Amino acid sequence: MRTAALLACFALFACDKPVSTQSEAPPPRPVRVQAVAFTEPRATLTYSGTVQARRQADLAFRVGGKIVARSVDLGARVHAGDMLARLDPADLALSAEAAQNAVAAAAADATNARLEFQRYESLGRSSPSFLASEREKRVAANMMANARLAQAQRQYALALSQKNYGALFADADGVVVALPVEVGQVVSPGQTVMTVAQTAETEVLVDMPENRLPELRAADEITVVPWSDPSRSFAGQVREVAARADPASRTFAVRIAVQAPGEQLALGGTATVRLTGRGAGPVAILPAAALGDCDGKPCVWVLDEGQSRAAPRPVTVAAYQDDNVAIAAGLQAGEQVVTAGVTQLDPHLTVVAWGGAQR
């Protein structure tokens, strides 16, 4: 009886103490989130190119002779009308003098033929000495003498022009980029004496792969920035796209005209060409840390409507931009996406959006 009473007391004491049948649930884990917002992207492509002159002329004398003077060196800037080189004027002066003497001789022959014709014509047709055939010969001789005079005058005018051709002048502003001959060298007519790259119009030559040509045509803004001075930028415009690819590099030569009035880029220098245009469609910009991996495919974790749990969702990545990622599909505007610690999440884990400061 005593033992039974003691057991009853122990039982009553045990009933007064609550018994836990399951472990307590962990507190919700705070997560940093960001609302999804779609924007229209601006796609930018960057290439390096070489600055060139649109027009480059090989200058030459129109007459032959010995070069006795040259007033420019390689790399010199010239202006329209500047004298660049000069031939020995002695031979040209002698040619002009000979042509002048030829004019005087032709004029004397023409005068003699005209006077002889006039004397024969004065005989009259009634004279026994008058012959029609002789008169025709005198008429032809007079015409031939006049023609030779006109020819000699044209030769003299040409000789005077050639005398002026002994000096070579620049026909436009530019830079001397080649000097294949030196002072003292004898040149023939049309032989290149120097090459001048005209600076009135400048362009940048870019080698572009075939798969980027559609983006080139779609670009609505082209900017050229010289490497020598990145603080300056100029507007550009596509002037020419090569009709065929280079057989070695398989790239197309694209020429970008630089619209820089009053400014000149260094010929042969390097410049950066930026092509900016509309992207393929609206994208959502998220931190790169928000992107996870779900069975080998990119995904993000999205909070449910109750904001208490997060679930993975596959997405389509449009582009990677430094520390951000552009999402093209898979999300809706306004949804809350977890942007940090996605590798520690679990669909059954209770979470709560954290409003702390971004780090």
Dist CA 209 CA 168 (whole Å):
43
> Do 54 and 205 meet the contact criterion of CB atoms below 8 Å apart?
no
Question: Which has more pLDDT, 263 or 119?
Answer: 119
Average the pLDDT over each of 10-19, 309-318, 331-340 and give the range with the smallest value: 10-19
Condensed to tens digits (0 to 9), the pLDDT of residues 182-220 reads 999 999 999 999 999 988 888 999 999 988 888 888 888
Look-up of token digits 């495919």: 297
Dist CA 52 CA 198 (whole Å):
10
Question: Which has more pLDDT, 23 or 138?
Answer: 138
CA distances from 194 to 98, 120, 175, 191, 209 (A): 31, 60, 10, 9, 35
Q: How would CATH label the architecture of 47-53+199-278?
A: Beta Barrel (2.40)
Dist CA 55 CA 267 (whole Å):
12
Structure tokens at 108: 């004397």
> Do 67 and 180 meet the contact criterion of CB atoms below 8 Å apart?
no
Dist CA 158 CA 211 (whole Å):
57
Output DSSP code: residue 44.
Answer: E
Pairing relationship of beta strands 351-354 and 29-35 according to DSSP bridges: parallel
Residue 20 pLDDT more than 50? Answer: no
Look-up of token digits 């609505």: 220
Condensed to tens digits (0 to 9), the pLDDT of residues 226-273 reads 998 888 889 999 999 999 999 999 999 999 999 765 566 888 889 999
What confidence score (pLDDT) does residue 138 get?
82
- Residue 359 pLDDT class (50, 70, 90 cuts): very low
What confidence score (pLDDT) does residue 51 get?
92
**pTM of the predicted structure, to 2 decimals:** 0.56
- The class of domain 29-40+281-354 in CATH terms is mainly beta
Q: What CATH number does the domain located at 60-88+167-198 have?
A: 2.40.50.100
> Do 312 and 292 meet the contact criterion of CB atoms below 8 Å apart?
yes
- Residue 356 pLDDT class (50, 70, 90 cuts): low
Residue 41 pLDDT more than 80? Answer: no
Condensed to tens digits (0 to 9), the pLDDT of residues 121-171 reads 777 777 777 787 788 888 888 899 999 999 999 989 888 888 888 899 999
Residue 8 pLDDT more than 70? Answer: no
> Do 241 and 254 meet the contact criterion of CB atoms below 8 Å apart?
yes
DSSP code string of 150-205: HHHHHHHHHHHHHHHTTEEE-SS-EEEEE----TT-EE-TT-EEEEEEE-SSEEEE
Look-up of token digits 């840390």: 289
Dist CA 254 CA 238 (whole Å):
7
Dist CA 35 CA 75 (whole Å):
59
Residue 24 pLDDT more than 70? Answer: no
Residue 348 pLDDT more than 70? Answer: yes
